């Protein structure tokens, strides 16, 4: 994106959409929400949405399909699925002592990727949980979990500072949890991420985005984590 008109509404919306649509959970041919839904979500006019869509269409991110539906054009590289393991279990298996600092629990409107991945309407309320995962006293993961409210309402969310989310889901929702999709890529630490993980701003981190479902294929959690790459070893 060029920065020339960065202050305009359509540029702001275009940048926000481009950032979300560039991750691995969108594949070629997926349809975006309607212009009216997008306008309501971003609190702008439909004209502004059309301008933003035209901009990201020029960049090859989307295209117009039949009935003027906006479709994803860019195909993402999708890595192999890996075994579903929560942080405390994985840490203990490796012989470490894990801990969790619960930063916040709040209700937010589902954004583009969150609604798409969880099968919800754009701006539908979801529960957002922010945690820092700690290994031997050192912060190693900053994790944001987005949970459908239909599931979050069943869970004792206040206990997440001492218990795994997957432990709570298995106890109060379903015994079967499946790692449906996972994407791993390298990023540079932002100010907030750097502060929470005690690294320099701009330091390389791994971003791990994943979708967990129950045995029926119903989405349970979409997580977006940034991870210190000097702690975890990923093998093919």
Residues of the chain with CATH 3.40.1410.10: 87-228
| Of 173, 226, 224, the residue nearest 198 (C-alpha) | 226
pLDDT (tens place) for every residue of the chain, 236 residues total: 444 444 589 999 999 998 888 777 888 889 999 999 999 999 999 999 999 999 999 888 899 876 678 999 865 434 444 456 788 887 787 777 889 999 999 999 999 999 999 999 999 999 999 999 998 889 999 999 999 999 999 999 999 988 999 999 999 999 999 999 989 889 999 999 999 999 999 999 999 999 999 999 999 999 999 998 666 655 54
CATH superfamily membership of 87-228: Chorismate lyase-like (3.40.1410.10)
Report the CATH fold assignment for 9-72.
Arc Repressor Mutant, subunit A (1.10.10)
The reported pLDDT for the residue numbered 82 is 46
Question: pTM for the whole thing?
Answer: 0.82
Is residue 61 within 8 Å of residue 71, measured between CB atoms?
no
Distance CA 203, CA 188 (A): 5
Is residue 49 within 8 Å of residue 39, measured between CB atoms?
yes
Buried b (16+ CB within 10 A) or exposed e, 208-233: bbbbbbbeeeebbbbbbbbbbeebee
Is residue 219 within 8 Å of residue 213, measured between CB atoms?
yes
Tokens, residue 13: 């919306």
**CB hemisphere CA count around 126 (13 angstroms):** 28
The reported pLDDT for the residue numbered 80 is 42
The reported pLDDT for the residue numbered 231 is 67
The reported pLDDT for the residue numbered 3 is 43
- Taking phi over 0 as left and psi of -120 to 50 as alpha, with beta for the rest, 95 belongs to left
What are 19's strand-pairing partners?
Answer: none
Contacts of 70 (CB under 8 A, 6+ apart): 31, 32, 35, 53, 57, 62, 63, 64
Tokens 């218990």, residue?
163
The reported pLDDT for the residue numbered 27 is 84
Q: Give me the DSSP letters along the chain.
A: --STTTTSHHHHHHHHHHHHHTSTT--TTPBPPPHHHHHHHHTS-HHHHHHHHHHHHHTTSEEE-GGG-EEE-SPPP-PPP-----HHHHHHHTT--EEEEEEEEEEEE--HHHHHHHT--TT-EEEEEEEEEEETTEEEEEEEEEEEHHHHTTS-GGGGGTS-HHHHHHHHT-S-EEEEEEEEEEEE--HHHHHHHT--TT-EEEEEEEEEEETTS-EEEEEEEEEETTT-----
């Amino acid at each position: 994106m060029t920065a020339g008109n960065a202050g305009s509404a359509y540029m702001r919306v275009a940048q926000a959409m481009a950032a979300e649509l560039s991750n691995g959970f969108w594949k070629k041919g997926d349809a975006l929400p309607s212009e009216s839904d997008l306008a309501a979500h971003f609190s702008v006019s439909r004209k502004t949405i059309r301008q933003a869509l035209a901009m990201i269409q020029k960049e090859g991110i989307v295209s117009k399909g039949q009935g003027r539906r906006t479709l994803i054009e860019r195909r993402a590289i999708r890595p192999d699925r890996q075994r579903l393991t929560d942080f405390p279990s994985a840490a203990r298996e490796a012989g470490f002592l894990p801990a969790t600092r619960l930063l916040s629990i709040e209700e937010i409107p589902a954004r583009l990727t969150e609604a798409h991945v969880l099968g919800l309407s754009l701006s539908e309320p979801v529960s957002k949980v922010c945690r820092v995962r700690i290994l031997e006293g050192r912060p190693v993961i900053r994790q944001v979990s987005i949970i459908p409210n239909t599931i979050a309402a069943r869970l004792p969310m206040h206990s997440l500072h001492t218990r795994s989310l997957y432990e709570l889901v298995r106890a109060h929702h379903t015994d079967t949890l499946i790692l449906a999709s996972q994407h791993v890529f390298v990023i540079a630490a932002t100010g907030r991420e750097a502060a929470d993980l005690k690294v320099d701003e701009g330091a390389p981190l791994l971003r791990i985005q994943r979708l967990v479902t129950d045995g029926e294929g119903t989405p349970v959690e979409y997580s977006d984590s940034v991870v210190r790459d000097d702690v975890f070893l990923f093998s093919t």
